[in-house]
Chains A and B, each alone.
Chain A
């Protein structure tokens, strides 16, 4: 088991010449839930995408699961790291069941049908995302939240020990968002799976993450254990807002309360 789930050193990346990452270096601990937080356009999604080889870096080095990114074959990497991107797309006539089976691509034989293992992995993924009853529906017939859960099921069916999620709570109401994060925590604690999650909601990060990376303008503003990183000073300076971090009775972690621009 490698010490780090992913290591970046001096990574720069750009979109059509517009810089997105300005030479970041990061070591992400394995077997943890890591949250990427920061304002829009601060580079958190880009960091996730370069870590999965979806976006080419301009310079710098990336290692994932103990091996340089370039040394992984696409299938081998898919068995190590699953990822759900921000706005995935599939044809509307695809059924949930068929979509989830697509998560098994890296495991399936070239000429044979789905193996017992493939079927079992899909069954489990559908069950834990509560999509079993909807599995025969086409994805056009799903609500936004159900669709998001179908994609999460597809990602989980890949059975990778490391999972990257880019804003997985998008389209989910607050109850389903908590359910998803509880599921992630369960998979982390019970099956030792590692997660990197781009999260907009700082309170979600505070509650569920073991490790937080704060991004600001393509740089890493802070990286470390959640409560060391999410401080009043750090949140205020990164987001340009005023906030207080308060303990609540009965909760293990404090909550972040924020209000407008720097007025107390």
Chain B
């Protein structure tokens, strides 16, 4: 009911910040490039060296951060609606860690002594999806089997338990697995967009290009899910089917992002929350606002991660967790603001 024009205008601040962050992220690095050189290199009018740095080295990393942030944020927004709990997110529900288990098993099973993969690296997202689905599915099954009240809180609790289990499995795999994989796995696990290639960008973009029109078609269903399940059902929502499809979409988006940038946590928790405050969760383009916010968070976190302590690169995921974990505590303490 809210008019479309003001809602679209509300996207302007986050969009503007994202553009600024993009230019900064491309410009800042081992050799600094001022904004005007960044822009001219992007337009293909810069000097050759600038263009190589921008197009070969920095742009893939920047775009990957933007896409992965959007995917994680969308996954978080979907989960929060499906579970009806603002504390839900891929990392809280064990989906991110499940994806990590899938990827580590993949690295363990399919690499040889020479540290080379015996199968194409393009199978890695599939392993992530498999791991994420198994852990996400387990959480839902446990919550469904539990007959006690307050299911949406139960899902969070089972998620936390299974996330801990997945983390333990990951640690064991690192210690027991081939030594030459350990340091590589560690960097990847805390989340890093450092090793970005155009290949990764393409896969991520493809995944989001499939998810975006689908989510646009589901926007009314997603909105309807804020009602209690019975009210949502009586207004005509095919409840179980909708919940399953949206959950599967969230798992796929998380796994896709995790496979490419590692387990960057808490973006899925923080981004929808910021979008709720800045944009409003019942306005049009709420999902778009959430996605842009996610992009901004991961891009800024990555920028900070490589500029705080050069030449060291901190894991991006450590920075997002630094902001996300306190917010989670805040939400937990404040409790749910649902009104009967």
Pick from B89-97, B218-226, B291-299 the stretch touching chain A: B218-226
Give 15 A-B pairs besides A90-B227, A105-B237 with Cβ atoms closer than 8 angstroms: A74-B239, A75-B238, A83-B234, A84-B234, A88-B228, A89-B228, A90-B228, A95-B1, A97-B1, A102-B227, A105-B224, A105-B235, A113-B4, A140-B337, A147-B339
**Contact in complex: B236, A111 (CB < 8 Å):** no
Q: Which residues of B contact A94 (CB under 8 A)?
A: 226, 282
B216 within 8 A of A: yes
**Contact in complex: B224, A102 (CB < 8 Å):** yes
**Contact in complex: B236, A79 (CB < 8 Å):** yes
B230 within 8 A of A: yes
**Contact in complex: B223, A102 (CB < 8 Å):** yes
**Contact in complex: A89, B147 (CB < 8 Å):** no
**Contact in complex: A54, B234 (CB < 8 Å):** yes
**Contact in complex: B231, A89 (CB < 8 Å):** yes
**Contact in complex: A88, B226 (CB < 8 Å):** no
How far, in angstroms, from A54 to B226 measured CA to CA in the complex? 17
**Contact in complex: B230, A85 (CB < 8 Å):** yes
Give the nearest-CB partner of B240 in chain A.
A74
**Contact in complex: A114, B339 (CB < 8 Å):** no
* Interchain residue pairs with CB less than 8 A apart (23): A16-B147, A49-B230, A52-B234, A53-B233, A54-B230, A74-B238, A78-B234, A78-B236, A81-B234, A85-B230, A89-B228, A89-B231, A89-B339, A91-B281, A91-B339, A93-B337, A94-B226, A102-B224, A102-B227, A105-B220, A105-B224, A105-B235, A111-B217
**Contact in complex: A75, B236 (CB < 8 Å):** yes
Q: Which residues of A contact B228 (CB under 8 A)?
A: 85, 87-90
Are A102 and B235 CB-contacts (below 8 A) given A91-B226, A110-B220, A111-B216?
Answer: yes
Tell me which of A53, A85, A101, A110 contacts B1 (CB under 8 A): A101
Tell me which of B147, B233, B284 contacts A74 (CB under 8 A): B233
How far, in angstroms, from A52 to B235 measured CA to CA in the complex? 11
Q: Which residues of B contact A103 (CB under 8 A)?
A: 235
Q: Which residues of A contact B239 (CB under 8 A)?
A: 74
B308 within 8 A of A: no
Contacts between the two chains (Cβ within 8 Å), count: 95
Give the nearest-CB partner of A139 in chain B.
B339
Tell me which of B4, B234, B238 contacts A82 (CB under 8 A): B234
B82, chain A: closest CB distance, angstroms: 14
Tell me which of B217, B223, B227 contacts A89 (CB under 8 A): B227
Q: Which residues of B contact A122 (CB under 8 A)?
A: 1
B338 within 8 A of A: yes
Q: Which residues of A contact B234 (CB under 8 A)?
A: 52, 54, 78, 81-85
Give the nearest-CB partner of A89 in chain B.
B228
Within 8 A of B (CB), among A88-132: 88-95, 97-98, 101-103, 105-106, 108, 110-111, 113-114, 122
**Contact in complex: B217, A92 (CB < 8 Å):** no
Q: Which residues of A contact B147 (CB under 8 A)?
A: 16
Residue-wise, chain B 1-42 has the 8 Å CB interface mask toward A (1 for contact) of 110100000000000000000000000000000000000000
Are A108 and B235 CB-contacts (below 8 A) given A91-B338, A113-B4, A139-B339?
Answer: no
Give the nearest-CB partner of A101 in chain B.
B1
